[in-house]
Amino acid sequence: MNGREWALVAAIAAFLIAMLALLRMARTRVALDAELSRKGMHLALGLSTVAYPWVFRSALPAFVLAAATVAVLLTLRMSRRAHAVLGGVVDGVRRASEGELYFPIAVALLFWMSRGDPILFLVPVLTLTLADATAAVIGVRYGQTAFVADGHARKSAEGSSAFLLVAYFTAHVPLAVLSPVGKVEALLIAATFALVVMLLEAVSWRGLDNVFIPLGGYFLLRGYLRMTASALVVVLAVTAAMLALVVLLRRRRTLTDGAGLLAVLFGYAAWTLGGWRWIVPLLVLFLTYTILWPREEQVRDRPHSAIAIASVVGVSLVWLAVRPLFGGEVALLGFCLTLAAHLAFIGLNWFRAARPELPGRKAIPIAATAAWTTMLATYVASAGTERSGYYALLSFPAVLIGTMAFAYVARAAEDGYALGWVRQVLLALTTAILGAGAAAGA
């Protein structure tokens, strides 16, 4: 860092301290709403970083400012004397959140990752600064259609809609002014970016949107800037269709609102990274699990949170990561087998609740066969090769064995909610490895 950069760091730090003092004064003298003061500081933090690509030659000044900001915020949290002077600006809201600590760190990481590229840095930062603040204020003031993200964070459709609208403009304007992409591409990138980042914000809790929005937005933009207009149309259409499906079936599934939106994000990842063959099994699972194993009380209470979706869908996508090692067909088989194991486990739990008189020696093969038939038929149709049917047949014993193991472990264990999902994930992955291993060795 040269003398000019040190001076800029000092000027930005002084500006932030002044804003903190000004908002503290407004809190005490005119009773400024806690959410407004928090978002006022949020805006100050974000807008103070907008010029980074043009004034800093390296990421070091950004990390220095991030460290200084976090140090001040931690001091306000831990020191009663400091809190009495400048506290209550960012920690005056009732909900628990560490977002103000994540914000400067995430922005510094973004600046380092983007290597000063104005588009890759500016679009995520403006979205985090303007769209997130707008969503919070609109949600608090005008939110009527509430939904609960996991972590007990209450959000609203009105706030998310405001986020979508502002995020579109925070992406489109910089793309139109600063990037060489065409007009149509800029429109499509902005629309798709806004939709996916809105989902990231909607599933966040305890301030994690301050991490998900800038860093997730960076990776999204990197991919979108390389796409053609026709490819962007497909991405936008598929993402919007998945979201519409989840919203329309919201009251017919056992998922919380946050879990449903997270399912859309996992579906987006499966489709963009693996193609249509990887999203079809997820859609089949989503559409059939309450048809095969109807639980009216669970549809009413919707007990399955983001932990359930991360366990069933998120962990299953590990097969995408190992696809280069095993080949696309075997990896897809492992993916479908993991989902089939989960579907069989759901079925076994259904038999225990809805048909307790049915002995395990009958419930286990019924659940295993129904799940295997549903998911492996999807695999055969998606893979579309001569070997796929043979691989599917070889995998049935693994599904049956996995269901038997689940029946034994579930009966013997008294795990809590999260630990129970860990147990189920391990059994499902083991089942899939056995089945895929048998196919690969054939």
Query: Using one digit for the tens of pLDDT, what is the confidence trace for 70-109?
Result: 888 788 777 666 665 566 556 555 555 676 788 889 999 9
pLDDT for the residue numbered 257:
80
Type of residue numbered 289? Y
Give the least confident one: 96-105, 252-261, 334-343, 415-424: 415-424
- pLDDT tens profile 230-250: 999 999 999 999 999 888 887
pLDDT digits (tens, 9 = 90+) for 427-440: 999 999 998 888 77
Amino acid, single-letter form, for residue 33: D
The counts of H helices and E strands in the chain are 22, 2
Of 16-30, 109-123, 142-156, 264-278, the range with the lowest mean pLDDT is: 142-156
Query: Looking at residue 83, what is its pLDDT?
Result: 62
Q: Which residues contact 435 (CB under 8 A, 6 or more apart)?
A: 333, 334, 337, 394, 395, 396, 397, 398, 399
Would you state the pLDDT for residue 365?
A: 93
- What is the rounded distance in angstroms from the CA atom of residue 127 to the CA atom of residue 290? 37
**Predicted local distance difference test score (pLDDT) of residue 92:** 52
Grade residue 132 by pLDDT with cuts at 50, 70 and 90.
confident
State the pLDDT at residue 392: 86
- The mean pLDDT of the chain is 84
186 versus 414: which is more confidently predicted?
A: 186
Helices marked H in 179-301 — which ranges? 183-202, 209-224, 229-248, 257-274, 276-292, 296-301
Q: Tokens in use for 326?
A: 């095993």
Own/partner contacts of 346-349, CB < 8 Å, gap of 24 or more, are 346/289, 346/292, 346/293, 346/371, 347/292, 347/293, 347/371, 348/403, 348/406, 348/407, 348/410, 349/293, 349/410
Q: Are strands 146-149 and 153-156 parallel, antiparallel or unpaired?
A: antiparallel
Contact status, residue 62 vs residue 49, Cβ threshold 8 Å: yes
Output the pLDDT for position 165: 94
Domain residues of the chain, as ranges?
A: 1-113, 117-248, 274-441
Question: Once rounded to an integer, what is the mean pLDDT over residues 327-338?
Answer: 89
374-415 residue pLDDT tens: 999 999 888 877 788 888 888 899 999 999 999 888 765 555
List the beta strands (DSSP E) in 67-217: 146-149, 153-156
Residue 367 pLDDT greater than 90, yes or no: yes
Band of residue 202 on the pLDDT scale cut at 50, 70, 90: confident
**Which has more confidence, 137 or 33?**
137
Tell me how far apart the alpha carbons of residues 252 and 275 are, in angstroms, rounded to a whole number: 27
In this predicted structure, the answer to whether residue 191 has a pLDDT above a threshold of 60 is: yes
> 429 versus 294: which is more confidently predicted?
429
Burial group, residue 29, by CB count within 10 angstroms (0-12, 13-18, 19+)? exposed
- pLDDT grade for 366, boundaries at 50, 70 and 90: very high
pLDDT of res. 334: 92
Beta bridge partners of 146: 156
**Helix (H/G/I), strand (E/B), else coil: 304:** strand
pTM value is 0.83
